[in-house]
Structure 1
Amino acid sequence: MSAYIQSFIDPKTNTISYIVYGENKQCAVIDPVLNYDFAFARTSTEAADSIIEYIHKENLTLLWILETHLHGDHLSASNYLKKQLGGKTGISTYLSQIYHLGINFRTDGSQFDHLFTDGELFQIGSLKAKAIHTPGHTPACMTYYLIEEGIAFVGDTLLMPDYGTGRTDLFGGDAHILYQSIQKIYQLPNEIRLFSCHDYPPNSRNLCWESTVADQKYHNPIARQGISEIEFVEKRKAKEQNLPNPSQILPALQVNISAGELPLPESNNITYLKIPLNQF
């Protein structure tokens, strides 16, 4: 059985979103982006509308809107896609600290339609999928593995082999845990195709987003096969020294924690995002 994958690039955040579907035309969207202009505090839907246009063009039915983790570098368009096309939102666990979102804010993940557990099997139409919990970049990181097609969407757990892995110094990240998660991915066959959520090209190479388990094992400078956990953690900490925060992290987390739903308008009919002062 074949799986079809269409990628969508958001150049402002170096995010790659995906549509994946099988022969029966039922699909999942993975890591959709809601465009955000920080300087003017304006959202727009160009990236998500490109996904919608493709779904209509290919006569697809949207079943799932899947987040590989609670993103800190872009706002999620999950809620917008769900309103436009239906489908269920899904993620693993997630965070709610720092924003003081109020006693009425639900911290159990119920803003999402489904919270996947490690090893859970599910269907994307005719495609058999497995959720593999791969925390470390964030506590919520989930890899979505299409079992028969040999494809895995790994989010930020593994980036391109010449770059390394997702960072571990923000909001619950842990290099020791990330090391263990990478070993779980390395238990998959070498030929499994891995699709990452971001790319930060070194040496001015073109943007890339696909590798294999073998590529990562033998060419990843931080996470090559055989590296010890201690050495991996040292390399991660060295790479993270003086790294700037992602430019959209403060608005992104408080939107993404609600499955992409913006805060309700206040009494003046204006929607506000919170920015915690002097916390970083």
Structure 2
Amino acid sequence: MTSIIRKSPSIGPQSPDVWGIYEADTGSVQYIVADPKTKKAALIDVVQNFDPRSAKCSYESADEVLQLAKDNDLSIQWVLDTHPHADHLMASAYLKEKTGAPNAIGEKACEIAKLWSDYYNVPGLFDPTKDFDHLFKEGDKFKIGELEVDVWLSPGHTLGSITYVIGDAAFVHDTFMYPDSGTSRADFPGGSSKDLWDSLQRILSLPDETRLFVGHDYGKGGREAQWEATVAQHKQSNVHLSGDVSEQQYRSVRDERDATLALPDRMLHALQVNLRAGQLPPAENDGEHYFKIPANKF
């Protein structure tokens, strides 16, 4: 398996080393963030591979991330996700088993679980309190080695998305895109362009030199995938936000754009897995796992 891999190096104390690993099938960017001093690291938003034609799951991307960590002598301390993804299956449970590290997501995944339990008509199937070791809330702090991590609630794309701010790096998931592509959609159940605007403005309040690492890129105009830009670069050239764009103008553009977008092709498979930390639905009496797909709901 060949992926685009780039390292964004630390520039000093409390500045992490960051590796971005691009997963081309879904345009997802997976991250390793590490304390250069202690070699302790966290994995963020790692993908479980999925073929929607055959419903086959596999772990080539996750294994590639683990190998990259091993090649750089890193010890995995955390397995992190920013939200229950709609466009890819997460590898959280697999990585927890492989590394022994605790897995975590935001506490509002419990509200998202309730929402999607109703859509799938599977009362009680999703319980993030059982499938994740930690459910972070706004204002929580924890450490990766000697690096302090601040947890921000950043809703809009989903009602429970969280941002990890680590020194001069912030993992901003599906809020920003790369500057030439603007920002992420806000039309999924529980999403809100109002909430997304507020989250974007908060992230832009970080110091100008802060490196923002986004969740997705789709190679606009045929360029190579990109996922890192500073706060200053977004202020200057983000196509949805630069200049004197008002909240009303932004929301109008965002809502009009979202109304034209199809659902991600993995979404209805992904949510029932990701709300179980990347585990398939429970096996049935034949020992096999089956997806449940609601018809005519969306």
- State the TM-score, normalized to the length of structure 1: 0.95
Q: CA deviation at 1:55?
A: 2.2
Aligned to 1:228, which of 221, 236, 246? Answer: 246
Q: Deviations over 1:200-235 (max 9, x none)?
A: 232211110001111111211212364211111101
In structure 1, list runs of 5 or more residues that go unmatched.
Answer: none
Aligned to 2:50: 36
Distance 2:43 2:94 in 1: 12
Distance 1:107 1:56 in 2: 32
Aligned to 1:102: 123
Q: Deviations over 1:163-209 (max 9, x none)?
A: 11110111211001100111111111111000001012322111100
Q: Deviations over 1:63-82 (max 9, x none)?
A: 11111111100000011111
**1:265 aligned onto 2:279:** no
**1:199 aligned onto 2:199:** no
In structure 2, list runs of 5 or more residues that go unmatched.
Answer: 1-12
What aligned pairs does 1:53-132 form with structure 2 within 5 A after superposition? 53-92=67-106, 93-94=108-109, 95-96=112-113, 97=116, 98-103=119-124, 105-107=125-127, 109-132=129-152
Aligned to 2:274: 256
Aligned to 1:219: 237
Letter in 2 for 1:170: F
Q: Deviations over 1:9-56 (max 9, x none)?
A: 110000010101112111100000000011111001100000111222
* Structural RMSD (CA): 1.3
Deviates more, 1:178-187 or 1:2-11: 2-11
Q: CA deviation at 1:90?
A: 1.2
| Equivalent position SS for 1:162 | helix
Q: Is the 8 A contact 2:94 2:278 kept in 1?
A: yes
Name the % identity: 38
Aligned to 2:62: 48
Letter in 1 for 2:45: D
- State the TM-score, normalized to the length of structure 2: 0.90
Distance 1:30 1:108, change over 3 A: closer
**Runs ≥4 in structure 1, deviation > 6 angstroms?**
none
Distance 1:225 1:262 in 2: 45
Whose helix fraction is larger, Structure 1's or Structure 2's? 2
Q: How many residues align?
A: 277
Distance 2:99 2:212 in 1: 27
Aligned to 2:296: 278
